[in-house]
Each structure stands twice: as structure tokens, then as C-alpha cells.
Amino acid sequence: MVKVVVAGGGWSGCAAALSAAKAGAQVMMLERTDMLLGTGLVGGIYRNNGRFTAAEEAIAMGGGDLFVAMDANARHRGVNFPGHNHASFYDVSTMEPLVKKVLQHYGITIRMKTRIADIVKYGRKIQALVVDSGEVVDGDVFIDATGTSGPMGNCLKYGNGCAMCILRCPSFGPRVSITAKAQVKEIMGQKADGSYGAMSGSCKLNKDSLSGDLRQRLETEGVVVLSVPSNLARNSTLGKKACSQYAIAEYATNLVLIDTGHAKLMTSYFPLEDLRTIPGLENARYEDPYSGGVGNSVRYLGMAPCDNTLKVESLENLFCAGEKAAIIVGHTEAVITGLLAGNNAVRHCLDMKYLELPRALATGDFIAFAHDQMATKDGLRLRYTFSGSVYFERMKATLLYSTDRAEIGERVARTGLTDVYNRCLV
Ligand SMILES: Cc1cc2nc3c(=O)[nH]c(=O)nc-3n(C[C@H](O)[C@H](O)[C@H](O)COP(=O)(O)OP(=O)(O)OC[C@H]3O[C@@H](n4cnc5c(N)ncnc54)[C@H](O)[C@@H]3O)c2cc1C
């Protein structure tokens, strides 16, 4: 039996585990905290702009389980907000248990509160992962889905200090990269000014702390746009945001609130005393990060060098997914790379040719484009997402953006990849 070990249970790790299990492997996933989904626990926006196309391609390829779960758990669908169309918002407070059930249904062993601290390597091959307790977990092939958020030292060095985000480093221990432990030199993303890392682009307010009227509007419409008094408009923080799809002027002169269960506030941070001067927010209180008045998590400081099959360079049996695989932003982006990494991990054990998604698909073009760009100095200063910025512009220009399910299904069929993730390879 092929044994795949997935490091990290964010959206990319969950997708990788699912894809490997569907391809016939015995799968174990190790997650350092007590909840799956990582930064997806405080996200929620999907199907906006080109993410719709990417999700539908994954569904046509047989990797739709996690998108179906998001859709089943959506609080709002088909919402437009500045710069974004036809978005859905999943409920961040109920998403995690549902995903766990989906994975368990596929027989995946999920080990929570299990932080990988080291690896055992022989030559170019990883033999096992070593967890905090000293236990050694062996496998035939490994997937690094440990993300790029934090740990605290990075938030201190490249941000405004630990903002007490959902990754809860003080409680569960810092993120540890499998790639870095294997002594592969990681890639560091940069901000527009050339400094390293990028700050996460949204925080969450407790909905009970909003005025009754504001809360009701938010729950009815899904989105509320509040204008920011000119003395508080903060154009200067835009280049630092991880989510370049929101680094547009409308987000500096307005506060955009989104109903994801919490009231998601589309800005990296906002001083609480200033926030409370805005009508409806007089009693506002941060839910994530707890110190959203002063900062947010810092990301993109450790990407694995890999090719478009997501195999990590210089190692025989390590694949990567999600933010680890490129400077990419988003749940959808994490899921589509996770699906590919999980499938290729199984192919590796069976000596099969690795799958590389063709550039005729938005998902294939996205992975290849992000990797091409990351080889350039300027490309390292951008983040890539189907939902905005340079890649969404490219999607439109190359006619890869579509909201027509039938057309997307036909496109996938033309590449011969319909249901590829539903095939048992073992
Ligand atoms: C505040 C915020 C809001 C966001 N909002 C949205 C949104 O609305 N829509 C959207 O599409 N995207 C959003 N994003 C971006 C999106 O969440 C991420 O790009 C994507 O989910 C990353 O997934 P990942 O699996 O690569 O990494 P992560 O989500 O970082 O998951 C990595 C996981 O690995 C675990 N891990 C790390 N090290 C170890 C170890 N040594 N051993 C075991 N486990 C380990 C971590 O605990 C974590 O669970 C948001 C991000 C943030 C921070």
C-alpha cells in the first residue's frame, strides 16, 4: 500500500490528502493545532472573479468535494463587492467540522495537535517526519502543506509583532517547514518596496459588537461598504497587503465588511480607537487577530522551489501545495494545488508520469505563470490569485476566465482530464 504523509491541515493539506486518498493511497495528515483549515478558519471568500472558473475546473476534474462542502456551507452566494463579482462566503465558524467529516469519509487518518519538528532524510529522500513528542512517522512520499504564515519571529521581524492570529503559535508551537528542514533553500516573497513578506489583508470583528442596524444590513446583503473619514484613509498600507486583489483605492477610502459568520473587515489592521469613530462601529471588537488594531500575520517568507508538477527541487519524494508551492493567495488556489500534489505523490510511488495541468486550463496556466514570474525580481514582489491583480487580468486577456459551467466542463474534456482526480491509480 502506498503511504502518503501530509504535513499541515490547511486547505491545501486537506485537498492533497483527499486527492491522494481518492487515487488509492493510505493517507495520514498531521496538523499542529486543534483545528483544520489553517488560515481558512478566518477567510471565507471564494468563487469571486476567476476563482469561479478555477473551482469549476477542479470539479470537472473530479476534485470538487471541498468546493461542494464550501457551497453547502455558504452564508451568501453571488455577491458583488468592490473589484469582485459573483462571490460566495462560507461560514467560517462551521466550515472546519464539515471538512473533517469529508476527509474521514475517505478514510484519511487525521492527527491533530501533532507538530512536525524535524525530518529524517537519507540522500535525496525523506524517510520520516519527527513530531514534537519524538514519535517518528514514516511514509513513502510526503507533502509539505505547512503554509507560510508566521511564526512569531517573522511577524516580529517583518510585521508589527505577533497579532495573536488564528495560527496560535504560543499555544501550538511555531510553524516548521518540511522543505527548510530538508535543507532546501526556500524562496522569500517581497513587498512592493522590496522588503520581505506581506501582511495578511483582512481582520474579523465580532458581529455582536456592531450596531443592530449595521449587523442586520450585513446579514441581509452579505456586504456593507462604509466610507472612511478622510483623516483615517490609509493608502500607505496598500502595498504591504498579502491580498493584492484588495490593494485598490476603494479599499483605502472605504471599509468593506463581509458576512463570513464574523464581520470580515477588508483591511490588514485598523486602530481600534479610530474604528470606533465610524458610525455603527462604536463598540467594535476584534475577533481575529485579537490585536487587529495594531497588526496582522506576516506571510510568504518560505516558498519551496518546485516545478509545475509541484515536486520540490533536489528531493525525490517531497511535493508541496498551497502557499508553500508559490506566492499564491487563497483557499481556491490552495485547493487546486493540493489536488495536484496529492495525485502526483501517488504517481511517484507507482513510477507513473507526473501530472502537469496544461496551460489550456486556467488552473494549469496559473501554476505555470506564478512559477515563471517568481523567477524574476519584480515577480517576487507580487502575489498571484484568480480573484484579482495581475493573474485575473491575464485570465481575462487570454479568455481563460469563464462563468459558464458547460464551457468550463468542455474545456477540461478537451484536455482529457475529466474526472482525473476520481481515478484510483493503485
Ligand atoms: C486573515 C486571512 C484572511 C484570508 N481570507 C481569505 C479569503 O476570504 N478567501 C481566500 O480565498 N483566501 C483568504 N486568505 C488566504 C488563504 O487563507 C490562504 O492563502 C490559504 O488558505 C493557504 O492555505 P495553505 O494550506 O497553503 O496554508 P495555511 O492555511 O497556512 O495552512 C497551513 C497549516 O499547516 C499547519 N502547520 C504548519 N507547520 C506545521 C508543522 N510543522 N506540523 C504540522 N502542521 C503544521 C498550520 O497549523 C496550518 O494549519 C486569508 C488569509 C488570512 C491570513
3-class DSSP assignment, residue 367: helix
Helices and strands: H and E segment counts in the chain: 14, 18
**DSSP E strand boundaries for 228-362:** 254-259, 263-265, 286-288, 298-299, 318-320
Place of cell 444590513: 217
* Distance in angstroms (rounded) separating the CA atoms of residues 319 and 336: 14
Q: Specify whether the CB–CB gap between 16 and 342 falls below 8 A.
A: yes
**Ligand 1 atom at shortest distance from the alpha carbon of 200:** 53
Residue 90: how many other CB atoms lie within 10 Å: 25
CB of 189 sitting under 6 A from ligand 1: no
Distance between Cα 198 and ligand 1 center (Å): 14
Average pLDDT, rounded, for the chain: 95
185 φ, ψ (degrees, to nearest 5): -70, 125
Residue minimizing CA distance to atom 27 of ligand 1: 147
Q: Specify whether the CB–CB gap between 333 and 385 falls below 8 A.
A: yes
Q: Specify whether the CB–CB gap between 218 and 264 falls below 8 A.
A: no
375 φ, ψ (degrees, to nearest 5): -80, -5
Residue minimizing CA distance to atom 30 of ligand 1: 147
108 φ, ψ (degrees, to nearest 5): -75, 130
Strand partners, 303: 187
CB of 43 sitting under 6 A from ligand 1: yes
**DSSP E strand boundaries for 272-384:** 286-288, 298-299, 318-320
Distance between Cα 102 and ligand 1 center (Å): 19
Residue minimizing CA distance to atom 38 of ligand 1: 175
Distance between Cα 329 and ligand 1 center (Å): 9
Position 242 confidence tier, pLDDT thresholds 50, 70, 90: low
CB of 48 sitting under 6 A from ligand 1: no
Q: Which pLDDT does position 211 carry in this prediction?
A: 98
Contacts of 182 (CB under 8 A, 6+ apart): 119, 121, 126, 312, 315, 318
Residue minimizing CA distance to atom 1 of ligand 1: 202
**Ligand 1 atom at shortest distance from the alpha carbon of 167:** 47
CB of 202 sitting under 6 A from ligand 1: yes
Residue 378 has pLDDT above 50, yes or no: yes
* Distance in angstroms (rounded) separating the CA atoms of residues 284 and 287: 10
Q: Which pLDDT does position 192 carry in this prediction?
A: 87
Position 237 confidence tier, pLDDT thresholds 50, 70, 90: low
CB of 38 sitting under 6 A from ligand 1: yes
Distance between Cα 255 and ligand 1 center (Å): 24
**Ligand 1 atom at shortest distance from the alpha carbon of 51:** 11
Q: Which pLDDT does position 236 carry in this prediction?
A: 45
The pLDDT of 326-335, averaged and rounded, is 98
Position 333 confidence tier, pLDDT thresholds 50, 70, 90: very high
* Distance in angstroms (rounded) separating the CA atoms of residues 294 and 160: 7
Q: Which pLDDT does position 145 carry in this prediction?
A: 98
The pLDDT of 124-135, averaged and rounded, is 98
Hey, what's the cell of 385?
490569485
* Distance in angstroms (rounded) separating the CA atoms of residues 99 and 95: 6
Residue 253 has pLDDT above 90, yes or no: no
Q: Which pLDDT does position 243 carry in this prediction?
A: 66
Distance between Cα 10 and ligand 1 center (Å): 5
Hey, what's the cell of 118?
524535524
Residue 55 has pLDDT above 80, yes or no: yes
Residue minimizing CA distance to atom 9 of ligand 1: 45
Residue 404: how many other CB atoms lie within 10 Å: 12
CB of 259 sitting under 6 A from ligand 1: no
Residue 180, Cβ density class (10 Å: 0-12 exposed, 13-18 middle, ≥19 buried): middle
Write down the pTM of the prediction.
Answer: 0.97
* Distance in angstroms (rounded) separating the CA atoms of residues 208 and 205: 9
Q: Which pLDDT does position 246 carry in this prediction?
A: 65
Position 53 confidence tier, pLDDT thresholds 50, 70, 90: very high
CB of 329 sitting under 6 A from ligand 1: yes
Above pLDDT 70, what percent of the chain? 96
The topology under which CATH files domain 3-194+299-422 is FAD/NAD(P)-binding domain (3.50.50)
CB of 7 sitting under 6 A from ligand 1: yes
3-class DSSP assignment, residue 101: helix
Position 250 confidence tier, pLDDT thresholds 50, 70, 90: confident
* Distance in angstroms (rounded) separating the CA atoms of residues 179 and 144: 7
Residue 202 has pLDDT above 90, yes or no: yes
Residue minimizing CA distance to atom 4 of ligand 1: 43
* Distance in angstroms (rounded) separating the CA atoms of residues 8 and 105: 19
CB of 334 sitting under 6 A from ligand 1: yes
Distance between Cα 313 and ligand 1 center (Å): 22
Position 230 confidence tier, pLDDT thresholds 50, 70, 90: confident
Residue 116 has pLDDT above 70, yes or no: yes
Q: Which pLDDT does position 49 carry in this prediction?
A: 98
**Ligand 1 atom at shortest distance from the alpha carbon of 338:** 25
Hey, what's the cell of 353?
508520469
Q: Specify whether the CB–CB gap between 103 and 4 falls below 8 A.
A: no
- CA–CA–CA angle 387, 201, 155 (5° rounding): 135
Of 42-56, 67-81, 135-149, 227-241, the range with the lowest mean pLDDT is 227-241
The pLDDT of 229-236, averaged and rounded, is 68
Hey, what's the cell of 162?
505577533
Helix/strand/coil (H, E, C) string of 125-155?
Answer: EEEEEEECCCCEEECCEEEECCCCCCCHHHH
Residue spans in the chain of domains classed CATH 3.50.50.60:
3-194+299-422
Residue 91 has pLDDT above 90, yes or no: yes
Position 248 confidence tier, pLDDT thresholds 50, 70, 90: low
Alpha-carbon distances, residue 21 vs 6, 106, 206, 223, 345 (angstroms): 11, 7, 37, 37, 11
Between residues 322 and 247, the one the model is more confident about:
322
DSSP-assigned letter for residue 419: T
